[in-house]
Amino acid sequence: MSKSLISIRDFSKEEILHVLEAAKGFEQDRSRKILDGKVVGSLFFEPSTRTRLSFETAVNRLGARVIGFSDASNTSVSKGETLKDTIKMVSNYVDLIVMRHPLEGSSRYASEVSPVPVVNAGDGANQHPSQTLLDLYTIMQTQGRLDGLTINMVGDLKYGRTTHSLLQAMSHFNPTFIFTSPEELKMPSEYKDFLDRKGIRYIETDSLEEHLNNCDILYMTRVQQERFTDPMEYEKVKDVYRLSASMLGGVKPNMKILHPLPRVGEIDQDVDDTPYAYYFKQAENGLYVRMAIISYLLEYDTNR
Amino acid sequence: MTRTDKELLIVSALENGTVLDHIPAEHVFRALDILGLKGIESQITIGINLNSKLHGKKGIIKIADKFFEDEELNKLALLAPYATVNIIRDFKVVEKKKLQIPSEIEGIARCANPKCITNHQPIKTRFKTVPKGNSISLLCHWCEKMTDIKGIY
């Protein structure tokens, strides 16, 4: 069976470091046509411009070609074709599949049906491992290391899949976490239990100011309206945190602010001009990390 | 005749076969289903709402001339954690055992996550069983969400 990337847990610490190292190479030389002649299927059952463009650019820069769709409504899926049949069909044509789907577990299923590697580009609120790897790459880039850092995660820690995956991935590197969220959006206990079992320290707070000055990474997230069933609940928490340049007076000099983007109101525009803002560079890094993921999975596959 | 032997006789005696005792009364029919006993040829005797000293009302299933692999029986462990299995040969209990919770279960419970792929496409459910306090939870192989064992049947 080929190696797929569905959940960040599918990669060992060594594999994570290997991909980050490869990404560094792609950042230095962003057009290496090492996958000339390969074809990648880009199956976006739900629209996502940002992630899709990043993956497709990565494929193109590696010299491979892309087939696929960016919206399932004009494919056989709208005629009622099962995911299994779509994947069986496409995997006959391509060397690797990049897939986003609104249902959770869909990518894992696709990887078990497909003979070629599958990269999960988001399955509902579940996993989005390329985002996690680009977060790690960015942390490494800004701090020069991954070990022993203090990461302050802010915002929706309950529904935000990026924070959950980042927590799992960082657990290899002896971190300290600060979880900043309103009561309604606290980190779920299953993740705190996971940290307890691994002996990793964490602090919970509802105040953004409280721990701003002692973290290395400030990982801001958006409160996603689509996750709320009760609009009143959303109104109550949507604007609780608003980071502005004036709050950054006492932060550590190496501190960097990350955000998976898009942002709404949680980071003021005036933060963009401070030396701490790093979210646009973070988004750019997505390209190099995705090039590294795709080439790693295809290389792994051909070496078998 | 020992007390246990007599209790097993309440429904009707079995010469050879398997007696499943201490099944929660409300889950007896589901248990028949999980063990694939619908439509088999063997004689099956069922007791429901029998008195149980430990667990209120219990159910009992006796299947003549049928012996199960542990793996098949353990599928019942989530539904009936206190069930006992009695192997009967020549009217005597020759072996008595408890069910073991399997590390993985397939095709039995439903995933509680409404957005899980298994609730939308014809895909078998698959879970890892994870200890949680003195109960267990089910970790979905597909969507990676936890399902509480209460209310999955």
CATH class of A8-128+286-303: alpha beta
Per-residue confidence (pLDDT) for residue A29, from 0 to 100? 93
The mean of the pLDDT values for chain A is: 93
- pLDDT tens for each residue of A53-93: 999 999 999 999 999 999 888 777 878 899 999 999 999 99
Residues 6+ apart with CB under 8 A from A189: none
Per-residue confidence (pLDDT) for residue A98, from 0 to 100? 98
Per-residue confidence (pLDDT) for residue A302, from 0 to 100? 47
Residue A69 to residue A7: CA distance in whole angstroms:
23
Highest mean pLDDT: which range of A80-84, A148-152, A223-227, B6-10: A148-152
Residue B105 to residue B127: CA distance in whole angstroms:
5
Per-residue confidence (pLDDT) for residue B3, from 0 to 100? 58
The CATH label, of 3.30.365.10, 2.30.30.20, 2.40.30.40, 3.40.50.2000, for the domain at B104-148 is 2.30.30.20
3-class DSSP assignment, residue B149: coil
- pLDDT tens for each residue of A31-55: 889 999 999 999 999 988 899 999 9
Domains A8-128+286-303 and A130-283 share a fold: yes
Domain covering B3-98 assigned CATH 3.40.50.11540 in the classification? no
Chain A interface includes B139 (CB < 8 A): no
| CA closest to B140 among chain A residues | A105
Q: What number is the average pLDDT over the span A115-143?
A: 96
Per-residue confidence (pLDDT) for residue B153, from 0 to 100? 55
Q: How does A33-55 read in b/e, with b if 16+ C-beta sit within 10 Å?
A: eebeebbbbbbbbeebeebbebb
Per-residue confidence (pLDDT) for residue B5, from 0 to 100? 59
Contact between chains at B141 and A124 (C-beta distance less than 8 A): no
- Residues of chain B found within 8 Å of residue A125, distances taken between Cβ atoms: 115
Residues of chain B with pLDDT under 50: none
Q: What number is the average pLDDT over the span A172-191?
A: 95
Q: What number is the average pLDDT over the span A161-167?
A: 94
User: Domain segments of chain A: what residues?
Assistant: 8-128+286-303, 130-283
Chain A interface includes B77 (CB < 8 A): no
Contact between chains at A126 and B121 (C-beta distance less than 8 A): no
Nearest to B116 among A84, A104, A127 (CB): A104
Chain A interface includes B152 (CB < 8 A): no
Per-residue confidence (pLDDT) for residue A304, from 0 to 100? 39
Contact between chains at A104 and B123 (C-beta distance less than 8 A): no
Per-residue confidence (pLDDT) for residue A283, from 0 to 100? 95
Contact between chains at B144 and A127 (C-beta distance less than 8 A): yes
Please check the confidence at residue A301 and state whether its pLDDT lies above 60.
Answer: no
3-class DSSP assignment, residue B8: helix
Instruction: State the burial class of residue A207 (Cβ atoms within 10 Å of its Cβ: 0-12, 13-18, 19+).
Output: exposed
Contact between chains at B118 and A105 (C-beta distance less than 8 A): yes
The CATH label, of 3.40.50.1370, 3.40.50.620, 3.40.50.2000, 3.90.550.10, for the domain at A130-283 is 3.40.50.1370
- Residues of chain A found within 8 Å of residue B142, distances taken between Cβ atoms: 104-106, 108-109
Choice among A38-42, A191-195, A250-254, B10-14 with the minimum mean pLDDT: B10-14
Contact between chains at A104 and B113 (C-beta distance less than 8 A): yes
**Strand-pair category, A217-220 with A256-258:** parallel
Contact between chains at A105 and B117 (C-beta distance less than 8 A): yes
- pLDDT tens for each residue of B91-112: 999 999 999 888 999 988 899 9
Choice among A24-28, A152-156, B136-140 with the minimum mean pLDDT: B136-140
Residues 6+ apart with CB under 8 A from B57: B24, B25, B48, B49, B50, B51
Chain A interface includes B115 (CB < 8 A): yes
> Best of A126, A158, A165, A197 to disrupt the B interface by mutation (most B CBs within 10 Å)?
A126
Contact between chains at B145 and A123 (C-beta distance less than 8 A): no
Q: How confident is the model at residue A270 (pLDDT cuts 50, 70, 90)?
A: very high
Per-residue confidence (pLDDT) for residue A234, from 0 to 100? 86
How many angstroms separate the CA of residue A131 from the nearest CA in chain B? 18
Per-residue confidence (pLDDT) for residue A274, from 0 to 100? 97
Residue A172 to residue B115: CA distance in whole angstroms:
30
How many angstroms separate the CA of residue B90 from the nearest CA in chain A? 48
- Residues of chain B found within 8 Å of residue A106, distances taken between Cβ atoms: 117, 142
- Structure-block tokens of residue A50: 């940002």
> Best of B106, B117, B120 to disrupt the A interface by mutation (most A CBs within 10 Å)?
B117
Chain A interface includes B113 (CB < 8 A): yes
Chain A interface includes B143 (CB < 8 A): yes
User: Domain segments of chain B: what residues?
Assistant: 3-98, 104-148
Residue A14 to residue A32: CA distance in whole angstroms:
23
Q: How confident is the model at residue A303 (pLDDT cuts 50, 70, 90)?
A: very low
